[in-house]
Each structure stands twice: as structure tokens, then as C-alpha cells.
Amino acid sequence: MRTARKVLLGLLAVGVVAGVTTIPSGDAYADVQKVRSEVEGADGKDYWVENNLDKAAEAAGERPEYMVVWAGDENIADTVVPDVKNLPGSLANPVDEVRDALPGPDFMAVVDVTKGSPSYGKVVNTATVGPLVENEPHHMQYSWRKGDKIYAGGLYSAATYVFDVSALPELKLSGISLPSQTLCGSVPDAYWVLNDGTAYGTYMGGPVVPGPCTYSHGEVRTGNGFAGTPGEVVRFGPDGRKLVEAPAATTTPEDPTQCLTMPALGQPSCANPHGIQVREDLDTMVTSDYAEPRSIILDPVKAPSPYLRRPTVRTWDISDLNNPRVKSVSYLPTGPRSDGRDPLHNENRAAMETTVTNLPGHKGAFAQTMQGGALFYTPDITVPEPEWKEIYDLSAAVKELDPKAGDNGGPSSNGGWLQTSPDDTTLYHAIIGRKPGALGADDPGTAGGVIALDIEKLVEAGDDARCSIDTEAEIAGEGAESDCPTLKGHQTINPGKVAGGPHWGALDNLELGADGFYHQTDQPERLATANYFVARTGTDGDHRVCLVDIAKDGSLALDEDFKDEVTGDTCISFNRESWPHGSFGNAKPHSMLFVTNDADIK
Amino acid sequence: MVVLPLAPLLAVAGGGTASAADTASPTSAARAAAALGEQAGAFAVGLRVALLVGTALVAGIALVSAVLSVRGPRPAGKPGRGLTVTVRVAAGVVAVAAETVHLTGDVSVLGTVSQVVAALAAAALVGTRWAALPGVALAGLLAVQLGSTRTGLPFVLDAAYAVGAILLVGAAATAATTPASRPPTVRVATSRTATRANAEAPTVSFAAVPGESVRRGGPRLGAVAIAGGLLATVAGLAQLVLSGPETSHDLLGSPYGLASLAAVVLAALAVVGVGIVVVVVVVRAGTFRARSAVPTALTAPDRRSSRAEGTKRAGAVPSRGSEVLRISAVLGSVGVAATGVLAALPPPGPAPVPGQPLLRTVASGGETLAVLVAPMRPGPNLVHVSGTYPAQGAAVSAAAPAAHHPTTPTATATATATVAAGDTPPVPITARDGAGGGWAVVDLPAGTGVLTVSVGTGSATVPVDTGSADATPVLATPADTGGAAAARPRAAVGTTLAGADGPECASALLGDLAGQRAATTATEVTGCPSDALSAADADALRATVRSITERGVDTIRLVSDDSPRSVAAAELVRETVPDAEITDRVGQDSALLVVSGWAPARRTLDDASARALETPTHLGGTYLAPWLLTPGVVTATASSVLPLTFDPQDTPPRRYAGAVAASFPGETPSTAGYLAWARHGGVRPAERPTLFGAAPVDVPMTSTGEHHTGVPNPASWFPGGTVVPVSAPLP
């Protein structure tokens, strides 16, 4: 018996050792099919998207709905050590670590978001782009409709990619626009796809070369260079071809005190368009100016001027889609919080996003300010001089997201995504939250999340809208007028974690109909959030993408079933070791869209 | 101090050639990167050493006992108490260390379980033939772990060392701790009785009469131990030849050298110890036979014999043989520990070669710094040290440098940072405009010697070898192979390196070093980029100035200096656009075109940028010569345009930037460095230049305390910004 035990023990040891050397290590993506799609760029080089389709996770026997997430590689070195050497007594070769310290590709992640699917929340494809790396993937369009291409920009590469998603989960590259094709602008930000499949895109930064730049229709504006001022709007074809470059700057100087540029321009301008939305039926486009997207660190002690953040919103006449012209430049009003002592946190500071109403009878639009922490509304964007009023101070909502915030959660609450519901009853807004110390050494910061405001009364009031935040009591108490927005839903993301909320979001405008196909809906039942801003600014995020359910009454609740396939935690994390395209480590998800295969939607 | 190049000596001793070491070992840049990279902590190293030594002991004892049980008299006997305790303790150490590593690190679960189970199984089965199975498994694991940082032949040598050490340690420990058998005559007689007591009697140790063991088929433990020890010694020596250190300076003056030496010497000493015992036993055995006496002097008392008898024998003659064997086993174990520690130590730097740039790392004041010395000829030599240093004449403490590896120790340099050649007065290490790191020019005498680098409170030495003073100056082709340059005497290289354009030349040398492959034959420093205007750069400048004037800018502020390249470039600009107004004055609508070296360019851009904050300045654009693409220059302006024949966003330029920053912390990429690096990989620049825009891009965030908290990649071509093509290839 004793001998038998010893023999058994010995055999066990041998078996385990043999197992180490013969059993392959677990690979989450063992069955990956690579499919590459290439186009030739204007510079003659080949640009590609390489699909890495996880065949094991592909949904079978149902019509899948996907979420595509435009994500950047975090560029952290990943050392791939063979498992045979990954033993307790082994050390990694530092030379190998250096060898592997190279940036990975940016990619479009395709996530299965089909409710009830066995692969719900799984990444079924990562479509990597190349050869450009470190694009800093940023925004796409705000929503997707059947037949639309996806337009996606790289903040640092100044490139616009156009993807064909008709055969999801596989993507194809339809085209790419390089900075040498858009000489009068740089730093692409967001896109709006028109009914004909073309798209407008905002280029927040100035012309790629300092000096005068001639736009498509002969307009000339002088800029201070790449990532400077003024920016532009570009219209792209579905093949990525540039159709037109239109100046965002007017021919007359803008307010020199509020429109600082560095280096100084002879003609001041706040034209750094970021958010963009369009009402083709009204021949009107709205863009919001965020900031001059560069910082010049000539004096590391001195903070960049607050006046590099813009307080302006522009309306454009797009009656000729190929000749958009700036119709008005509106300076958002300051509110009751502004006292001149802290201009960076005036309510109108840094107009990052704007969103239009959608229904034919409505002509209004909203705007928000990232540092100002306020929401604005104009009832009619078609008039020559739209009148914008502050209609909500985020202090009222932030105290619901973070009870510790008190009544001063609005300033520097870092709001981002702003979107009206298709039926114009709800305004959704993503809020990162305030970083500690933003308002002073004693400022503990605030948590963030996503909110839903009831805007039905305001929008329905039309030109008679009365809401205006103009008293201190309205800062944290919502507006006094009866048509002012009210909070009807909120969902904290990362409760208790300051500045831990999302920067971006997307509504799921797709609905599975009784016919078994997807259709557009004006009653979205869920939205997605992404916790990433721009790492280089110091506001990074935890790289999680969450789904939030929207109830009939407008209340919001985190979708607890949407879990990370690696950790099992709610929300999917883009901080993971392996992807279908390889072990490239963490990634930065900036924006996303709900999309289906073209054959699955009517 | 005389620095002996060991590689040729050791290579000859090992039957190889001097180039064997060169081709098998990593390049100097790779070595520097490894030394500067994240090093294993003391806790991790301690666990590794405990694990490896424990594994060697358990594997050795298990294997030897298994062989003994198979080849020895039937039935096999149990090991003595000392051996049992030793193997159990060792197995326990393995189990605890492996589990601790698993809990505190990222290692294979199966690997951990395998090692723990094998060690415990070996301890349980020792004394039986089944112990061979976990013993072999442990030997395999040890071989893999000992050589985990190596590949190819060096890995094989580490594996051979592991096998040799296992045999040495196992045989010596077994012999030292297992009680000697009874006198052969007694044992043979009693073993046939097959009683339980005899069945459990100790096996034959080599300390018993060797001749008798052989006659009865018992193992010759002495031979096994000696063979294992010799294998380990030879493998360690071969590793030393193959992997370095390459100089006596490093062999005796660096932890890596001392550990390498210890691995060889300790194994050799263990062989000597075991050999002495064998010799003594043989001699005593002869005496025993002659006197018909028991050779108790080299055998431990048999516990199963009469305690009184054992005590009497042990007391009569101390078991010095066992003590020597124990010491030999310990020496073998320490040898394993030394070999295990090697992987956690910074690898030694290359030996200095006259005329070739030397890239090494030095540990000074608890920090690791990279040092470049060029051209390694008698006379003025440029010394480039990583870190941040005050400008010449300033007496302020410097901040920490940007390091490629976040965990790389940072240098805290002060105005006392100096470098000295031999006994000469130390030269301050200072910053230079447009370039990172510290710089000093020192006069090196002919022959070998050392440079003493003192930073902060510490100092370290770098071996140098400038060769013969009367070496014939050779005409050399400039480093840039553009073809427009005239040949220059080799002696002029040192002058250029010591001058204002030294940092750019050093960047080219670092790029060349970073691009070298392991089998690359190192080249001499033959020229600097600023020696002449290359055909490619001339072409790019012509196209650029035409582009400027075509954009309607008719006034160009031209900034140049007195280097041969800059003078030629300025002349070319004037010839290309004779109708344009070329001026040296700052203006609002003019374009700024800089064709000087790095330092004047940096100062020019600083001035222009400061002015532009107050008033519109150079609205015609800021244009830089191709060689000015380096962060120290382009980050001085909000926006600049450069004609380039490569895209910094492409993979090869990024790979270069990462490689050079890894081997020299804080070293930023440059056009000259990339072109030198690219030549090794066969990467060809484009035929026509393209204009690239360089600018900071940093979407402003919230407020004072929150801004600029991101960490730009120091290996970037434009930290905190981007460089993108803004034109089609220029005609």
C-alpha cells in the first residue's frame, strides 16, 4: 500500500509535468479568422483594416446586433513570454521586453449586444487599422442608419477613416482621408452622415501649415497652424474622398478677448468646431466650438488661458450641401455662477457638443459646455441670429449622481456626449465628473454618469420657450420656469469615484421587429457609455463600456447582464491582455455606435 | 588602470575565436536597454535563488538515490536521516518559494503546481527508483528556469550547467549525508539474509571502498560528482566566454562579472573538494586492505550499527571527508545560486574598441545612467550621459530625466556632475540647447584607461581604449552617404563631435548602435551629418523653398550657422529663389526657414515663439531643414513644417524611436539617428521629400491643476504632439 501510494504520487507528478509541456495554454481567441481590406491612400500607400473575427463567438441562428467601438491601443509594452519559460523560477529577459515595447494597432471592436445572445458582451472582431498607429481614435457619427458608412477620425493622425459595415461583424475600409487632403484643417473630431451617404466632419484645428489657406470655394483664412485656429468643416464622400473644405471662421474678426489664439492671429477667431449636427430639412447645420486643440508649454507654471476654450456655437446654411457657409456665430451667455473671478468655469466655457431637435415641427438645438457645466437651448436655428439661453445647470444633476457633490457640482463637471431622443422628449448627457482640486485645494471632485432630462415642454414651447437659468436659486434647483428641463433619469458610472464617469455615449436606435428584422426606432430602450477621454490630457478613464437601460418613464439603470467576457464584471473593459488581434494589452474606447449587418435591418 | 579585453583570451582558451563572443552576445544598445530596463527586485531574486538551489538539491538527491536503488544491492535501502532531512527541507523550500512566486507574480499555474508536486514527490520517493521521475522533471524545470533569460547556445550552456550542478550537488550531498555501509564483507554477508533491518540498511556510498563498490555494481558517486562538477565548470566557463563580461574591468568590477566568475570557480572548487576525498579514500582503501581495517576516517558511523561502535569509530577518526563533501555540495549549490542571480543582474557592457563609439551603462549613486563616448580616439572625445543637467554655467540642481521605462531609476544630477579621464581634472556635464541629456568634452590619452563619471553622490568608471596615438589618420566618408560631401580626415570627427553639432552627431551614432544586429560588425566613427549638405537634404530644401514662394510668401527669414552643411544650405536657398527677399529680420508675414544646427535652431524658435504670443509673427509659416526633426527643436514652436523622406508615424521610425530611448533614457529621435538606424534594416527613405507638419496636440482639459498631467511618450517624435504629412511628395 505504501509503495502503491508512492507510485501513484510519482505518476501524478510526472503527469502534471507532462501536462505543462504538452497541454497548450488557454487562449481566449483560439479560432480567429483574419480578413484584410485595403485601399490606396492619396499618397500612394496602402491603408488597411484587418478583421480578426472570433469564429467561436459568432452568433448562430439569430440576427445579431452589434456595437462597434472605435478604440486606440494604449501603447503599453506587452512582453510575450513563452509559457514554457513562464515558470516560478524564471525571469523575463529585459532585452525581450524592450524589443516588444512598440505601439499596437488601433482598432474598431465589434461587440455582440444582441439581448439573450450567448455571446452577449463578447468582442467578436477587432478590425485593426494600419499602417498608421497612435491615431488617437476619437469620434464617429452620432448614430447609424441602414446603409450608412461609418466615419471615424484620428485626433493625432488627422486622418478620417470610412468603414463599410454592411457585412458585420466584418468591416471593410472604404477610404481614408489624409491630412495632406485637408490642408485647411486638422484634428478631426466628429461627423454627421447626410441622407445621401456623404458626411460632414469637424476639423477642430487650424490649417496644417501656418499662414493663409485657400478653401474649396476660394475663401482664404489665415491660420496659426496644425492644431491651432481656425478649424473647418469638411464634406466627405462615402469613399473617403474630400468633397469640400469650408471655413469655420468668418471674414470678420471675432471677439479678441474671448477668442485667444496661440500664436496670435491677426484676425481673432473662436472657430474650433467640435460637435456637429445637421437638420437637412431645415438646410441648417450647427457646430459648437470647443477649444484650440493645442497647448503651448512655454511656461510650465502658468496655466493655459481659459480663453483658449470657446464659448461659441455656429449655425451654417447648407442649402447647397457642397458649399456650407457660416450663418451665425453665437456667444453662449454666462450665467448666475459667473462672477469674473474664475472665467474658466463660467457657464459658457468650452462648448464641446451640440444636438438638434429631430421632428419636423421643431427647430431648436441644445449645446453644452465642458468646463462651464451648463446646458443651453435655442428654439430656432434657422433664424439669422439664434438666441441661446442657459436652460440647465449641471449642479442640479451632479448632486443626484454624487450626493457628496453638494450644490456646486456643475463647474468643470466635464460633460461630453449630448443627444436628443428621436422623439425630442429627452435629452441625454454624459458627465465625467470633476477632478479633485479643479476648484481649489479643498475641492474633492465629483463622480459622473449619464443623465436623462425631460425636455418635452421646452421643445414644444417653440419660439415661446421661457426657460432661463438666471438666478442663484436655479443653479442647483433646476429652472424656475415651467418649461425648464427636469431630471427624469440618471445612472452613476463608477459610484463614488471622482471624475470616473463617461465622456461619450450612444443611443441604441435599433429595434428588433416582429418580422425578425431590425428597424429604426424613436423609442430607444438603451444607451451605451464609454469611459475614456484623451489620455494625454490627464483625463484618461477606466476604459469601460457600459450599457444602460432606459425605462418607459425615462429612468436609467445599468444593464447588469452586459458583462466582461474576461472578468465577469458588469460592463466590458478595454483593459485586457488579449484581443482577437493579439496580446496588445489595454485599449482606449472613445466612441461607439449600434449597428447591424445590412441583411438584418429594414 | 589597465583594461584587458577578455573575450579574445577566453575565446582562445575555449577553443573559439574572438568573434564568437561578438556574434552570440546582444549588441551594445540591447545590453544598455537591458541594464536600464526594469530589473527584478531583491525579493524576486531571493525567491528565485531559493527555488533554484532547492530544486537542484532535490533533483540531485532524487536522481542519485534512484540510480543507487536500481544499481545497488537488492533490496534498496533507505537514505540516511541527514539526507532525508536535507531533501525534505529542500523540497519544502521549493514548495514555499514556488507558491510565493505564484502568489506575488504572474507565472504559470501549471508550472507552479508541477514544480511543487515534483519536489514533494521526489522527497517522498527518495531512496526508491521512482524518485527518478520527479528528479528528471525537476532537472528539466531547473534547466529551463536557469536559462530563462537566454536563447540559443547560451541557453544550452545554462541547461548544461544545471544538469552538471544537479549531479554534483546530488552526489556530494548523498555521499556526505548517507551513512557509510558496513565493511563490504559484512554487508555482503548480511544482505543475503534479507531481513527487514538489512533491507533498510543504507546504500553504498562512494565513501565506501570504491573498488568494492565497483565489484558489486554499486554507483561511483565520486565519479558522478566530479563529472557533474566538471560539466558545470566547463559550461560556466563557456558561458563566460560567450556572454561576457568582455573585459577584466567588468569581470572583477561588476556584479555580473563576479557572479559569472563565482559560478565557474565554485563548481571547480567543488570538483577539487570531491576529488580530494576520492583520492584520500582510494589511498585509505589501500591502507585498509593492507591492514584489514575499516576505513572509518572518511565514512560516517553507521547508525544501525552499534551506537557504541559508531561512536567509537567516529570518535576515533573525525569524518573530515564528509565535511569536505558537504562543503562541496554547498559550493555547488552556491554556484547554482550565482548562476541564478546572473539573470537578474545588468548585463556587462561591451569592451571599448579604438575608433568605435562606446555605449555603456554605469551605476552611480544607486541610479543607472547611459554613457556614450565617441569617437574613442586620442584627443577630444564627446561624452553623452543620460539625465537632466544644468546649462553650462548654471549651478542648479537638475530634475529627473524622462525615462523610457517608467520604472527606470531616474538620475538626479547636480552641478557636481562631472566626467574625468584618468587623473585629469573633471569636466562638468552640462545641457545643450536642442538636445537632451548631459554633455562633456574630455581629452583622452592614447591607449587604455577609464573614464570616471560622477553624478550626484556617486561615481562609476567606464573603460576606454583609444588605440595608438600614432595611428595613421585615414580619410573617411562622411556618415551621411548622400554623396555631396567631401572626404574629411578622421581627426576632424573628434572636432565636430566636440563642437556645437556634437549632439546631432551623437544622435546619429546612437541610431547606428540601436540599429546594429547581433552579427553586425561595428563600424568606426567616420563623420558627422553636419560635415556636408547631402544630396537628399539639398533636394528637400530646394523643393521646400519653392513651396514657400508658391504659397505667396515672398519674404523668407533665413537662419543658418557656420557648419559646412549650413553654409551650403543657405547658399542653396538663395540660389533657388533669387527673386524672394531673403532676410535675417523677424517679420509678421514672412516665413521663417531654419537651416542651422540644433542649438541655434532651438534658440531661434524660442525667440520667435515668445514674440508670437504677443504679436503676429512669421505668419508665412515656420520651416525647418530636414535634420532639425528632433523634439528638442520642433517642440520649441507651435507649428513647423519640415521636408522629410520618411513618415515619423510609420512603424520603422517609431521602432527606431523606441529602441534608441530604451538604450539611452531620455534620448529623443532625430532624422540623423533614424537614417543611421534604418541603414541596418535596409529601410530606404522615399525618393521625393514630403512636407510634414509638426505641432503640439493636447485637447485642453479642465483647469490649472488638471492640465498637463498626461505623460507624453518620451520616445515620441513630438512628445505631446504629432508629425503628419501635409503635402503630396514635392516635385
Q: Is B454 helix (H, G, I), strand (E, B) or coil?
A: strand
Residues 250-269 of A with CB under 8 A from B: 262-266
Question: How high is the pLDDT of residue A560?
Answer: 96
Determine how many CB atoms are found less than 10 A away from the CB of residue A23: 10
Distance separating alpha carbons of residues A421 and B464, to the nearest angstrom? 73
Please determine, for residue A19, whether its predicted confidence score (pLDDT) is greater than 60.
no
Of A16, A43, A90, the CB nearest to B145: A90
Q: CA angle, B715 as apex, B712 and B719 as ends, to 5°?
A: 35
Q: Looking at the DSSP assignment, which residues form a beta bridge with residue B275?
A: none
Q: Using a CB-CB distance cutoff of 8 angstroms, which residues of chain A are in contact with residue B51?
A: 88-89
pLDDT over 70, % of chain B: 74
Is the model more confident about B569 or about B588?
B569
Q: Using a CB-CB distance cutoff of 8 angstroms, which residues of chain B are in contact with residue A131?
A: 650-651
Determine how many CB atoms are found less than 10 A away from the CB of residue A212: 18
Please determine, for residue A447, whether its predicted confidence score (pLDDT) is greater than 60.
yes
Range from A111-125, A522-536, A551-565, B570-584 carrying the lowest mean pLDDT? A522-536
Range from A298-312, A555-569, B42-56 carrying the lowest mean pLDDT? A298-312
pLDDT over 90, % of chain A: 72
Q: Using a CB-CB distance cutoff of 8 angstroms, which residues of chain B are in contact with residue A536?
A: 697-699, 710, 712, 720
Distance separating alpha carbons of residues A318 and A280, to the nearest angstrom? 8
Of A3, A155, A304, the CB nearest to B697: A155
Chain A, chain B: beta-carbon pairs less than 8 Å apart: 351
Q: Per-residue confidence at B178, pLDDT binned at 50, 70, 90?
A: low
Distance from CA of A90 to the nearest CA of B (A): 5
Question: How high is the pLDDT of residue B156?
Answer: 87
Q: Using a CB-CB distance cutoff of 8 angstroms, which residues of chain A are in contact with residue B125?
A: 6, 9-10
Q: Each residue of B118-163: pLDDT tens digit?
A: 999 998 888 888 888 999 999 999 888 888 777 778 888 888 999 9
Q: Which residue, among B369, B330, B350, B385, has the nearest Cα to B256 in the 3D structure? A: B350
Please, are residues B566 and B596 in contact by the beta-carbon 8 Å criterion?
A: yes
Q: Taking the alpha carbons of B510, B512, B513, B515 in that order, is the dihedral positive or negative?
A: positive
Contact B115 A434 (CB under 8 A): no
Query: What number is the average pLDDT over the span A71-95?
Result: 55
Q: Using a CB-CB distance cutoff of 8 angstroms, which residues of chain A are in contact with residue B613?
A: 262-264, 296, 298
Q: Cβ of A83 under 8 Å from any chain B Cβ?
A: yes
Question: How high is the pLDDT of residue B202?
Answer: 40
Nearest CA in chain B to A293: B699
Interface test with A, best of B697, B709, B717, B718 (most A CBs within 10 A): B697
Between B671-681 and B502-515, two packed helices, what is the crossing angle to 10 degrees?
20
Q: Can you give the three-state secondary structure of A9-61, one letter per residue?
A: HHHHHHHHHHHHHHCCCCCCCCCEEEEEEEEECCCCCEEEEEEEEEHHHCCCC
Query: What number is the average pLDDT over the span A386-400?
Result: 97
Q: Each residue of B186-217: pLDDT tens digit?
A: 333 333 333 443 333 344 444 443 333 333 33
Determine how many CB atoms are found less than 10 A away from the CB of residue B469: 11
Distance from CA of A131 to the nearest CA of B (A): 7
Query: What number is the average pLDDT over the span B552-578?
Result: 95
Question: How high is the pLDDT of residue A218?
Answer: 96
Contact B702 A23 (CB under 8 A): no
Q: How far is residue B334 CA from its own chain's centroid?
A: 23
Q: Cβ of A557 under 8 Å from any chain B Cβ?
A: no
Q: Using a CB-CB distance cutoff of 8 angstroms, which residues of chain A are in contact with residue B649?
A: 132-134, 157
The two beta strands, B427-428 and A312-317, are unpaired
Q: Using a CB-CB distance cutoff of 8 angstroms, which residues of chain B are in contact with residue A533?
A: 701
For B219, left (φ over 0), alpha (ψ -120 to 50), or beta? beta
Range from A85-89, B178-182, B603-607 carrying the lowest mean pLDDT? B178-182
Q: Which residues contact A486 (CB under 8 A, 6 or more apart)?
A: A453, A454, A478
Q: Each residue of B215-237: pLDDT tens digit?
A: 333 347 788 889 999 999 999 99
Query: What number is the average pLDDT over the span B329-339?
Result: 90
Contact B107 A87 (CB under 8 A): yes
Interface test with A, best of B106, B550, B699 (most A CBs within 10 A): B699
Q: Per-residue confidence at B592, pLDDT binned at 50, 70, 90?
A: very high
Distance separating alpha carbons of residues A77 and A98, to the nearest angstrom? 8
Residues 300-339 of A with CB under 8 A from B: 300, 303-304, 308-309
Q: Cβ of A432 under 8 Å from any chain B Cβ?
A: no
Q: CA angle, B391 as apex, B385 and B395 as ends, to 5°?
A: 105
Q: Cβ of A9 under 8 Å from any chain B Cβ?
A: yes
Distance separating alpha carbons of residues B650 and A45, to the nearest angstrom? 11
Mean pLDDT of chain B, nearest integer: 77
Contact B690 A85 (CB under 8 A): no
Q: Cβ of A295 under 8 Å from any chain B Cβ?
A: yes
Q: Using a CB-CB distance cutoff of 8 angstroms, which residues of chain A are in contact with residue B726?
A: 179-180, 183, 208-209, 226
**Could you give the C-alpha distances from B327 to B82, B83, B279, B294, B324, in angstroms and in order?**
15, 15, 17, 24, 5
Q: Per-residue confidence at B17, pLDDT binned at 50, 70, 90?
A: very low
The two beta strands, B591-594 and B622-624, are parallel
Interface test with B, best of A48, A98, A262 (most B CBs within 10 A): A98
Please, are residues B404 and B715 in contact by the beta-carbon 8 Å criterion?
A: yes
Distance separating alpha carbons of residues B325 and B684, to the nearest angstrom? 63
Q: Cβ of A8 under 8 Å from any chain B Cβ?
A: no
Q: What 8-state DSSP symbol labels residue A304?
A: P
Question: How high is the pLDDT of residue B13?
Answer: 36
Residue count of chain A: 602
Contact A16 B110 (CB under 8 A): yes
Question: How high is the pLDDT of residue B568?
Answer: 97
Question: How high is the pLDDT of residue B473?
Answer: 45
Distance from CA of A541 to the nearest CA of B (A): 12
Q: Each residue of A358-380: pLDDT tens digit?
A: 999 999 999 999 999 999 999 99
DSSP string, B137-157: HHHHHHHHHHTTT--HHHHHH
Q: Using a CB-CB distance cutoff of 8 angstroms, which residues of chain A are in contact with residue B713?
A: 75
Please, are residues B470 and B429 in contact by the beta-carbon 8 Å criterion?
A: no
Q: Looking at the DSSP assignment, which residues form a beta bridge with residue B692?
A: B642, B725
Query: What number is the average pLDDT over the span B262-285?
Result: 85
Element (H, E) at A243: strand A242-247
Is the model more confident about B208 or about A402?
A402
Q: Each residue of A474-528: pLDDT tens digit?
A: 999 999 999 999 999 999 999 999 999 999 999 999 999 999 999 999 999 999 9
Query: What number is the average pLDDT over the span B603-613?
Result: 91
Is the model more confident about B571 or about B517?
B571
Residue B124 one-letter amino acid: A
Q: Using a CB-CB distance cutoff of 8 angstroms, which residues of chain A are in contact with residue B40?
A: 91
Quickly tell me which residue has 555482503 as its cell: B188
Is the model more confident about A15 or about B378?
B378
Nearest CA in chain A to B146: A90
Distance from CA of A181 to the nearest CA of B (A): 8
Please determine, for residue A183, whether its predicted confidence score (pLDDT) is greater than 60.
yes
Q: Each residue of B279-324: pLDDT tens digit?
A: 887 777 666 555 543 333 333 334 444 444 433 343 333 467 778 8
Contact A180 B705 (CB under 8 A): no
Q: Per-residue confidence at B16, pLDDT binned at 50, 70, 90?
A: very low
Q: Using a CB-CB distance cutoff of 8 angstroms, which residues of chain B are in contact with residue A228?
A: 638-639, 695
Q: Per-residue confidence at B470, pLDDT binned at 50, 70, 90?
A: low
Q: Is B271 helix (H, G, I), strand (E, B) or coil?
A: helix
Cell of A103: 505601439
Distance from CA of A439 to the nearest CA of B (A): 8
Q: Cβ of A539 under 8 Å from any chain B Cβ?
A: yes
Structure ipTM: 0.75
Question: How high is the pLDDT of residue B464?
Answer: 92
The two beta strands, B379-385 and B435-444, are antiparallel
Cell of A61: 441562428
In chain A, the N- to C-terminal Cα span, in Å, equals 73
Q: CA angle, B696 as apex, B691 and B698 as ends, to 5°?
A: 140
B445: burial class by Cβ within 10 Å (0-12, 13-18, 19+)?
A: middle
Interface test with B, best of A86, A157, A189, A202 (most B CBs within 10 A): A86
Question: How high is the pLDDT of residue B222?
Answer: 83
Nearest CA in chain B to A157: B724
Please, are residues A591 and A531 in contact by the beta-carbon 8 Å criterion?
A: no
Interface test with B, best of A90, A435, A584 (most B CBs within 10 A): A90
Q: The pTM is what?
A: 0.75
Interface test with B, best of A7, A80, A294 (most B CBs within 10 A): A294
Distance separating alpha carbons of residues A185 and A225, to the nearest angstrom? 9
**Could you give the C-alpha distances from B507 to A419, A530, B282, in angstroms and in order?**
51, 41, 66
Distance separating alpha carbons of residues A534 and A539, to the nearest angstrom? 6
Distance separating alpha carbons of residues B391 and B631, to the nearest angstrom? 18
Element (H, E) at B593: strand B591-594
Q: Cβ of A352 under 8 Å from any chain B Cβ?
A: no
Contact A226 B695 (CB under 8 A): yes
Phi, psi of B382 (to 5 degrees): -90, 130
Residue count of chain B: 731
Q: Looking at the DSSP assignment, which residues form a beta bridge with residue A108?
A: A70, A127
Query: What number is the average pLDDT over the span A142-146?
Result: 97
Of B108, B703, B729, the CB nearest to A87: B108
Q: Which residue, among B36, B52, B54, B55, has the nearest Cα to B44 in the 3D structure? A: B52
Question: How high is the pLDDT of residue B491?
Answer: 53
Question: How high is the pLDDT of residue A263?
Answer: 81
Helix residue spans in B292-403 (DSSP H): 307-316, 320-342
Determine how many CB atoms are found less than 10 A away from the CB of residue B156: 16
Is the model more confident about A321 or about A57?
A321
Question: How high is the pLDDT of residue A68?
Answer: 98
Contact A94 B37 (CB under 8 A): yes
Q: Which residue, among A155, A223, A153, has the nearest Cα to B720 in the 3D structure? A: A155
